[in-house]
Structure 1
Amino acid sequence: MKANKKTNIIVAVLAFSLILTACSKTVETTGTGTPAKDAPAAGKNADLRIMWWGPDDRHQATLKALEMYSAKNPNIKFTSEYMAFDAFWTKLPTLAASNSMTDILQMDGAYINEYAKKGLLMDLSDVDLKGLVDPRIVNNVKIDGKLYGIPLSHNGAGVAFNKAELEAAGVKLPHKDWTWDEYFTYMKEAHDKLPKGKYPFTDNTSVWDWYQFYQTSNGKGPIMQDGTKFNLDKDLWFKFQQMHEQWRADGTLPSAEATTAFKENDPKADAMVSGVMARGVTVGSVGVMETLNPGKISVVNNPVGPAGGGWAQATIFFSLSKSTKYAAEGKKFIQWFISDQEVGKTLGLTRGVPINDAIYKTLEPTLSKKDLMGKDLLGNALDKALPFYPAPQGWSDFTSLYKSEMEAVMFKKQTIEQAYDKIVAKGKETEAKLNKK
């Protein structure tokens, strides 16, 4: 499940690791073309250091975008650094600790609050986003009334499922706004009707935020309320975990050995090429499921409860370092990055569904089925979406313990009750640290 994997990576690196990664690439990008006739007059010369994460198609598209900008603004050149997601979040804390962050940096929804509150990011509230970004989105991503990142794309959580194989087995398909009770019913029916070796869903026992989706949808709030108060609902938690234990016992879920061997998006080891009919995905990642299972995949939002379910909001941003010497130049570039139609075509969906709806509309007629799937998932998720609840600062110890203790349950090395006691103890310890002055 991509959202869960992402969250686990996030909380694992928030301790500001000092390990530098060797997998980054640094290049200097300068304009090589002739400036456009309508290009603004050259201003202050600036070499903007910019850093982002992502796959190779994002890297190449972004490099082209930077060349386009320098061609129109000869006084601006870029020194670019790009790498994989986990490498980025290993290196950035090191740069922050040495006061050497890049001028422009890609920022994630689960990190931005931490970096903003540490005084590392510049307030971008004066960037004119009228007609570019829905004001509701802008207000939703503000921190203490200030805008520390310009959103680049839409995102959200949901479920991808193998429609073709479920229909062939006669299983009632998940539908928009399906409830958790319907999810539980689906699990039983799919288990009864699917052939041997096929499973209704991934086993998310050890993934803390999959349970959190259940708790928040039932109106009980996130596990760490307001980022400081431990808030694990005992009754809901036991109901959820006992259900999963029963499913493992009767073969509804894959074995613990199979579950821990799955590798997301791997052509040979992803759960959905290994007999599993459905798993959690995000708007930005769901297209991979169509690539792995051509013509078979459909999408739906997460199961919902009385309070709603899942989340749908911008989680990728461009931010400026508080220490940049090129604030005006950086703000101008970021605004151009989300507003220019030509750069929009160049970037395509390399950061997900563009935040500027006008740009998406120009792209839509050219998109493949897998590319359209992200927008489809977003449309499913929006109506019932709850806020995005990232793990709070310093919570990596808790989530690591949660995973290890629940994997011990999966492998029958301890009981649910024993795991609960350890998780609660760690949660209260974490709460005390978060509230320590």
Structure 2
Amino acid sequence: MKSARKLLTIGLSSMLAVSLAACGVKEEAKPSQPTAAPNAANTATDKKPVKLRIMWWGSQARHDATLKALDLYTKKYPNVTFEPEYQAFDGYLDKMSTMAAARNLPDVIQTDAAWISDWGSTNRLMDLTNAINTRDVDPTLLNTGKYKDKLVAIPLGNNAFGLVYNKATVEKLGITPPKYGWTWDEFFKFGIEAKAKLGKDKYVFKDLTIDGLYDTYQLAKGKGWPKAEGKFNYDKTTWLDWMNKFAEMRAAGIVPPADVNVSDKGADAKLDLMVQDKILLRNSHAAEFPGFDALKPGQLALVTIPQDKKAGGWLKASMYWSVSPDTKNAEEAKKFIDWFINDTEAADILGTSRGVPVSKKIVSGLESKFTPTDKEGIELINKTAPDGQTFYPGPGLKGGWDKFEKEYTNLVQQIMFGKLTPEKAWDEVEKLGKEIK
């Protein structure tokens, strides 16, 4: 897992307790230098009024920080104003895809590693190679935003995938809290113990039949990614074990009924089941923690994904900025992104709202300002780093995976609603897998 450690712990210095030497990183390693000046946003600019459309997903805390940063940019460069669009993650990709089909993407869009293959291969993202000052960004992290030889996405933060739980409620219930390095056996035991002390209509976890955590379970069992290198790699025994465990927990009331489960909307003040105190624990990236904490201040804590033979969690870039190839404001969009990742005043406002910043220089300047909430996210990165999985963004929707994704979601929903047994569902999943090219 050396590559995983290297990817996202670079530049966190002593605060992150992961040294450069331990990651095997040579300090002199530098990415190719852009042709732009060291800070393109400070160069002379056309004073013609420009309105940049910009879109991102996130929690209210991220929205607030980003809007403040945009205001600061306009104060520095009065000819540039913004038309922001933002929402929760649910539905974001669908909205982005619809806009792209209509050639109406915003100038600047927040993107994710899992989408780069699909979007890069169809030329829906502008090549930003040598357009942004990235000399303080580790080359390995920067390269995660490439499709083939084109840099189509600029990483914004270091991140780790884990779980967030209601520490205050767990302490009140008097049960043993989750701990870093815990196992899947301890995870399921925690569910049983917590349910015994919870009231009616209170649950421990979401029904993870459908919530994307199956990947972590198969990884922890040492079976690799279910979509390893674009090939169908779902392990039958592991998959059935997972599905049947959650069927048992559904019957025991450890997880919510299907209709309650599908109503959940992560980090939404009104629809997030954990925020509404209906569940104790859910998945979260380190970069998402400030948003959760803002909704339940001081009550929550992070913990690693459970492990088995191997670790279940991984490190990855938190998110990226990309530019629409149809923009009429390409130069201003590039200058804005340059400013966003390199400006110290912007960094003071943004903090860790998109993960630990990618610029080593910026991180160094922020160390003394990290809040307890920031440090919680940094600890998750630290605890995941030593043996974390190498993140695989998946094959995208090529080669039949688009059909697989739709049919798979339908099948596991039928399991949740009791209309299909895991065994019969597996037969259909296996058939779909054989169609993958």
TM range (shorter): 0.7 to 0.9
Query: Is 1:164 paired with 2:168?
Result: yes
Query: Is 1:339 paired with 2:342?
Result: yes
- Of 242, 245, 248 in structure 2, the residue corresponding to residue 246 of structure 1 is 248
Aligned residue for 1:115, secondary structure, equals helix
- The separation in 2 between residues aligned to 1:140 and 1:88, in whole angstroms, is 21
- The separation in 1 between residues aligned to 2:165 and 2:56, in whole angstroms, is 28
Shift of the 39–316 alpha-carbon distance from structure 1 to 2, 3 Å rule, reads closer
Query: 1:241 corresponds to which letter in structure 2?
Result: M
User: What does 1:20-169 correspond to in 2, within 5 Å?
Assistant: 40-42=43-45, 47=50, 49-54=52-57, 55=60, 56-71=63-78, 77=80, 80-84=83-87, 85=89, 89-99=93-103, 101-126=105-130, 127-131=132-136, 133-169=137-173
Report the CA distance between 1:310 and its aligned residue.
1.9
Report the CA distance between 1:301 and its aligned residue.
1.3
Shift of the 215–78 alpha-carbon distance from structure 1 to 2, 3 Å rule, reads same
8 Å Cα contact 1:191-1:200 kept in structure 2: yes
Aligned residue for 1:176, secondary structure, equals coil
- The separation in 1 between residues aligned to 2:323 and 2:268, in whole angstroms, is 34
Query: Is 1:258 paired with 2:263?
Result: no
- Deviation string 1:32-55 (CA, Å, 9 cap, x unpaired) is xxxxxx953446968474422235
8 Å Cα contact 2:289-2:377 kept in structure 1: yes
8 Å Cα contact 2:116-2:146 kept in structure 1: no
- The separation in 2 between residues aligned to 1:422 and 1:408, in whole angstroms, is 12
8 Å Cα contact 2:288-2:353 kept in structure 1: no
- Of 408, 412, 417 in structure 2, the residue corresponding to residue 406 of structure 1 is 412
Aligned residue for 2:307, secondary structure, equals coil
Shift of the 185–371 alpha-carbon distance from structure 1 to 2, 3 Å rule, reads same
Aligned residue for 2:427, secondary structure, equals helix
Identity of aligned residues (%): 32
User: What residue number does 1:300 align with?
Assistant: 303
Report the CA distance between 1:201 and its aligned residue.
2.2
Aligned residue for 2:127, secondary structure, equals coil
Query: 1:250 corresponds to which letter in structure 2?
Result: A
- Deviation string 1:305-332 (CA, Å, 9 cap, x unpaired) is 3342222211421223445566565444
TM-score where L is the length of structure 1 = 0.76
- The separation in 1 between residues aligned to 2:329 and 2:176, in whole angstroms, is 56
- The separation in 1 between residues aligned to 2:368 and 2:129, in whole angstroms, is 33
User: What residue number does 2:228 align with?
Assistant: 225
- The separation in 2 between residues aligned to 1:260 and 1:88, in whole angstroms, is 17
Report the CA distance between 1:302 and its aligned residue.
0.9
TM-score where L is the length of structure 2 = 0.76
- The separation in 1 between residues aligned to 2:109 and 2:253, in whole angstroms, is 46
Report the CA distance between 1:423 and its aligned residue.
2.4
8 Å Cα contact 1:46-1:326 kept in structure 2: no
Aligned residue for 1:111, secondary structure, equals helix
Report the CA distance between 1:366 and its aligned residue.
4.8
Query: 1:424 corresponds to which letter in structure 2?
Result: E
8 Å Cα contact 1:311-1:388 kept in structure 2: no
Shift of the 260–391 alpha-carbon distance from structure 1 to 2, 3 Å rule, reads farther
Query: 1:165 corresponds to which letter in structure 2?
Result: T
- Deviation string 1:278-311 (CA, Å, 9 cap, x unpaired) is 1111223223433444433211111123342222
CA RMSD of aligned residues (A): 3.2
8 Å Cα contact 1:61-1:350 kept in structure 2: no
Aligned residue for 2:266, secondary structure, equals coil
Report the CA distance between 1:390 and its aligned residue.
4.3
Report the CA distance between 1:361 and its aligned residue.
5.0
- The separation in 2 between residues aligned to 1:144 and 1:188, in whole angstroms, is 47
- The separation in 1 between residues aligned to 2:333 and 2:270, in whole angstroms, is 42
User: What residue number does 1:425 align with?
Assistant: 431
Query: Is 1:319 paired with 2:322?
Result: yes
Report the CA distance between 1:338 and its aligned residue.
0.8
Shift of the 166–78 alpha-carbon distance from structure 1 to 2, 3 Å rule, reads closer
Aligned residue for 1:419, secondary structure, equals helix
